[in-house]
């Protein structure tokens, strides 16, 4: 007889342990770790679903107390990957807290009842010459959607229909209409074909330079010798990191193994995907958050069956069930989106390293501005540090001018554009080159306050400042609460009520007055509320349909704009005021990445950084494009203060609809934590957002150099919650919060 340990799919901390069941002989060869099964549960033997986590020959209970597994919910191929992923889930539960079922649900594919989709590939049905003539005609008739599809196909004939609709923000109706006109033909394939069907000739398009070759050779030598490491690739923007990734992937695939490439959702563009398809053909697949459960499952199934070798996608792609995983690449490694927002709040970097360890794979982290965490580990020899110091196409790094806004004001300039920026904008417009204006206002969304008494308009439910919209309304970004702005201050009745800083809308308005003829695009939360708005704006700018693009941090990533020669950063220091130990790191990274957009393809690129604190080290080192000097100062600050990565920090968030109760639970937790002497407990205190939707929030911070001690404290808190179940509050853990 064989027995299976099964985690029941019920989200109760009490039931978060395996229960043993007997495996009926008919199912014997199908029940493997990761299998999704139905079992009778509880007194009424109600059928419930669960995951098999282990199979053994020994019963743990009296055999007549052990029930039989009822049936398989979904049959899986025998796949080593599921075993690996379950072990990863166990590690995640231990490392980040929460229940095992939460971790299992994160790593294992959602088994939806799957409707098989037919894949459709779209090909050009006219000659390139004809297409290019039609393209011009369409543009003159303002048939922009059709024009876009045609242009994409002229670039790359034969692309998946869903990739086109998804990435070129058009609809199937548009493409069907084009087919009726005989412009394209649509070929339907059977299930499981790649979503992108390019032929992919396997060869690289550019010869690698000396620096790139050195790294790829070192990797190949390590890999062949069976050495698996984590490499940190620090390479300036445009230094050819993506070419290096492709080379490493090619090497790994040639040895019969598979690759996962994580990229932030925001840089997952048509161009990026096509770059990989061009080289690797239909062995590549990609994933993004807008896939339906069925589509997602379909992708995972193809991976599990070995029908693809490369998966590209945001952080969830880390759990692609490859059974022969050889490499995990994390591009833009410093990005905040690699940290999960829900329990378990895992970080993709650490989790990738653990998955790679389980699979015998290597990890490559890449960034122009590595996270302080990753660089610290590289310095200590935990990761191998690689550097690419030059832009691959020979373009120089841009010239950076720093402007002190206090001085501008003294000189009588009350506009948002300094003299230097104005001068360079005029020159660029005159040469018909493109300009990007970037306003850094992360965590600082244009709030309204009283300049006489300091009163700030806040949301009555969420305790965050409301932000001003041109409609005259104040809005809460958390719960959507709206209220009209008042002319006088509710507190002191003065008339000095106004927005603190310029938003993108005001910049646009001023710019229109200044340059009435310039074509301007704006990208912010308001202009990108619908699906695909983001890519449409970037695409229009790339197609040179505008001279100036104004935006928040959203415009820093994504497309390449060869015509941009000037980047203006209007208020560089705003993110410095965020109440957060990573504020300087974020500022440095945003400024450097923004500056890196200038002059990527040409010899000339200029950047103007306008700031109230030119002397601040994150602003000053970004102006010099000097990562090292930034890192030195930042790491000494972190070490001094005991912040990550010099030490570890655990944030415990306690939430309850009753303020008193939340406070009491938080005190219990901090008292418990204080019994651990090696760690320093701070709080409890109100969270920076003390209330969301009338739920009160308290936090306890626990600091310790040893991560292991923090997980032990977390275990104790979880034990306390199990011993004294409490439905009126909720506790969440966040290790090394961002
Ligand atoms: P990164 O990922 O570091 O921003 P990319 O790999 O996208 O850099 O390279 C930037 C540009 O330079 C791309 O257009 C790429 O094709 C080109 N490129 C990369 N490596 C080389 C090389 N060795 N020779 C010529 N062009 C290169
Ligand atoms: Zn006032
Ligand atoms: Zn609110």
Q: What is the pTM of this model?
A: 0.79
601-619 residue pLDDT tens: 766 789 999 987 788 899 9
648-735 shares the fold of 2-80: no
Determine the Cα–Cα distance for residues 131 and 138; give it in Å rounded to an integer: 10
Give the tens place of pLDDT for each residue, 697-733: 999 989 999 999 999 999 999 999 988 888 899 999 9
Cα→Cα distances 433→289, 436, 518, 593, 599, Å: 35, 10, 11, 20, 10
Which of 274, 364, 393 should be mutated for ligand 1, with most atoms under 8 A from CB? 393
Instruction: Report the CATH superfamily, name and number, of domain 648-735.
Output: Ribosomal protein S10 (3.30.70.600)
Estimate to the nearest angstrom the gap between the alpha carbon of 700 and the chain centroid.
Answer: 26
Q: Which of 34-43, 437-446, 498-507 has the lowest mean pLDDT?
A: 437-446
Cα–Cα dist 310/198, whole Å? 14
User: Where is pLDDT greater, at 372 or 170?
Assistant: 372
Rounded mean pLDDT, 400-424: 87
| Nearest-atom index, ligand 1, CA of 244 | 6
Is residue 240 in contact with ligand 1, taking CB distance under 6 Å? yes
Query: At 364, phi and psi to the nearest 5?
Result: -125, 120
Q: Please give the CATH topology (third level) of the domain spanning 399-444+500-637.
A: Rossmann fold (3.40.50)
What are the tens digits of pLDDT across the range 265-296? 777 777 788 888 889 988 899 887 777 777 77
- Which has the closest alpha carbon to 305: 278, 285, 290, 327? 285
Nearest CA to ligand 1 atom 5: 240
The bridge status of strand 467-468 relative to strand 606-611 is unpaired
**Protein residue whose Cα sits closest to atom 6 of ligand 1:** 240
Sign of the C-alpha dihedral computed for residues 402, 408, 410 and 414 taken in this order:
negative
Q: What is the DSSP string of 667-684?
A: HHHHHHHHT-TTSEEEEE
Q: Percent of the chain, pLDDT > 90?
A: 37
CA distance 245 to 492: 60
Tokens 């050889």 label which residue? 326
Contact 555, 507 (CB under 8 A): no
Which is more confidently placed, 378 or 72?
Answer: 378
Residue 226: how many other CB atoms lie within 10 Å = 7
Give the residue extent of every domain in the chain: 2-80, 117-191, 210-388, 399-444+500-637, 648-735
CA distance 583 to 587: 6
- How many angstroms is it from 508 CA to the middle of ligand 2? 29
Give the mutation target among 206, 279, 333 for probing the ligand 1 site: most ligand atoms within 8 A of CB. 206
Q: Is 558 in the pocket of ligand 1 (CB under 6 A)?
A: no
**pLDDT tens digit sequence for 539-578:** 888 889 999 999 877 777 656 788 899 999 887 666 555 5
Residue nearest to atom 11 of ligand 1 (CA): 238
Query: Average model confidence (pLDDT) for the chain?
Result: 84
Who's near 627: CB < 8 A, 6+ residues apart? 234, 369, 370, 592, 621
Q: Decide: 310 and 261 in contact? Cβ < 8 Å.
A: yes
CATH 3.40.1440.60 for domain 2-80 = yes
How far apart CA 136 and CA 505 sit, in angstroms, is: 33
Question: Which range has the worst mean pLDDT, 56-60, 390-394, 495-499, 664-668?
Answer: 495-499
Mean pLDDT of 353-357: 97
Phi, psi for 264 (deg, rounded to 5):
-60, 140
Under 8 Å between Cβ of 209 and 240: yes
pLDDT of residue 191: 41
My answer on whether omega of the bond before 684 falls inside 30° of 0, hence cis, is: yes
Instruction: Summarize pLDDT for 375-394 with one digit per residue, the tens.
Output: 999 999 999 999 999 888 77
Query: Residue 455: pLDDT above 80?
Result: no
Instruction: Indicate the pLDDT class of residue 454, thresholds 50, 70 and 90.
Output: low
Quickly count helices (H) and strands (E) in the chain: 21, 30
Determine how many CB atoms are found less than 10 A away from the CB of residue 367.
23
Residue of the CA atom closest to atom 21 of ligand 1: 392
Fold annotation for 210-388: Rossmann fold (3.40.50)
Residue with tokens 């020899």: 381
| CA pair distance 543, 540, nearest whole angstrom | 5
């Amino acid at each position: 007889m064989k027995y299976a340990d099964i985690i029941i799919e019920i989200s109760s901390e009490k039931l978060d342990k395996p229960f043993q069941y007997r495996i009926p002989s008919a199912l014997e060869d199908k029940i493997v770790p990761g299998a999704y099964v139905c079992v009778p549960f509880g007194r009424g033997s109600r059928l419930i679903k669960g995951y098999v986590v282990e199979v053994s020959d020994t019963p743990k209970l009296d055999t007549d107390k052990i029930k039989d597994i009822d049936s398989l919910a979904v049959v899986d191929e025998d796949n080593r990957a599921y075993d690996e992923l379950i072990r990863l889930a166990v590690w995640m539960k231990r490392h980040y807290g929460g229940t095992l079922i939460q971790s299992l649900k994160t790593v294992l594919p959602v088994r939806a009842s799957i409707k098989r989709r037919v894949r459709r590939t779209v090909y050009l049905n006219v000659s390139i010459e004809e297409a290019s003539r039609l393209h011009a005609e369409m543009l003159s008739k303002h048939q922009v959607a059709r024009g876009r599809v045609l242009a994409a196909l002229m670039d790359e004939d034969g692309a998946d229909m869903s990739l086109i609709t998804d990435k070129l923000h058009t609809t199937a109706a548009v493409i069907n209409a084009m087919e009726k006109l005989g412009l394209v033909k649509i070929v339907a394939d059977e299930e499981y074909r790649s979503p992108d069907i390019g032929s992919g000739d396997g060869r690289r398009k550019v010869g690698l330079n000396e620096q790139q070759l050195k790294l790829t050779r070192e990797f190949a030598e390590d890999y062949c010798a069976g050495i698996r490491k984590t490499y940190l690739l620090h390479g300036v923007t445009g230094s050819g990191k993506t070419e290096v990734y492709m080379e490493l992937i090619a090497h790994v695939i040639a040895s019969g193994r598979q690759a996962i490439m994580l990229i932030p959702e925001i840089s997952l563009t048509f161009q990026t995907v096509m770059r990989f398809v061009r080289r690797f053909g239909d062995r590549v697949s990609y994933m993004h958050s807008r896939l339906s459960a069925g589509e997602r499952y379909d992708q995972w199934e193809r991976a599990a069956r070995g029908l693809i070798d490369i998966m590209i996608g945001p952080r969830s792609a880390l759990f692609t069930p490859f059974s022969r995983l050889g490499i995990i690449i994390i591009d833009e490694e410093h990005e905040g989106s690699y940290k999960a927002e829900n329990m378990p709040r895992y970080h993709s970097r650490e989790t990738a390293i653990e998955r790679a360890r389980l699979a015998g794979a290597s990890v490559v982290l890449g960034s122009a501005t590595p996270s302080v965490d990753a660089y610290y580990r590289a310095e200590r020899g935990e990761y191998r540090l690689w550097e690419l110091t030059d832009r691959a196409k020979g373009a120089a790094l841009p010239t950076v001018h720093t402007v002190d806004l206090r001085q501008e004001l003294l000189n009588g300039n009350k506009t948002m554009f300094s003299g230097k920026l104005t001068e360079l904008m005029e020159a660029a417009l005159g040469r018909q080159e493109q300009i990007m204006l970037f306003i850094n206002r992360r965590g600082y969304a244009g709030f309204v306050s009283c300049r006489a008494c300091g009163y700030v308009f806040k949301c009555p439910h969420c305790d965050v400042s409301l932000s001003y919209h041109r409609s005259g309304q104040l809005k809460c970004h958390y719960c959507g609460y709206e209220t009209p702005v008042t002319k006088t201050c509710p507190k002191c009745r003065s008339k000095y009520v106004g927005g603190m800083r310029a938003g993108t809308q005001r910049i646009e308005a001023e710019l229109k007055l200044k340059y009435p003829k310039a074509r301007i695009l704006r990208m912010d939360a308001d202009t990108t509320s619908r699906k695909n708005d983001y890519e449409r704006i970037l695409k229009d700018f790339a197609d040179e349909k505008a001279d100036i693009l104004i935006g928040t941090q959203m415009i820093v990533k994504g497309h390449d704009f060869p015509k941009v020669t000037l980047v203006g950063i209007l208020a560089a220091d705003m993110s410095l005021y965020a109440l957060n130990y990573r504020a300087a790191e974020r500022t440095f990274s945003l400024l450097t990445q923004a500056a890196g957009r200038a002059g990527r393809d040409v010899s000339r690129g200029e950047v103007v950084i306008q700031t109230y604190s030119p002397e601040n080290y994150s602003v000053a080192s970004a102006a010099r494009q000097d990562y090292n000097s930034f890192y030195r100062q930042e790491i000494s600050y972190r070490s001094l203060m005991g912040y990550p990565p010099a030490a570890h920090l655990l944030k415990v968030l306690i939430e309850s609809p009753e303020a008193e109760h939340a406070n009491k639970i938080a005190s219990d937790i901090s008292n418990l934590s204080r019994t651990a002497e090696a760690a320093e407990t701070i709080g409890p205190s109100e969270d920076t957002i003390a209330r969301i939707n009338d739920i009160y929030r308290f936090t306890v911070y626990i600091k310790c150099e040893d991560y292991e001690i923090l997980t032990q404290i977390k275990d104790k808190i979880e034990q306390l919650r199990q011993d004294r179940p409490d439905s009126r509050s909720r506790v969440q853990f966040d290790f090394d919060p961002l």
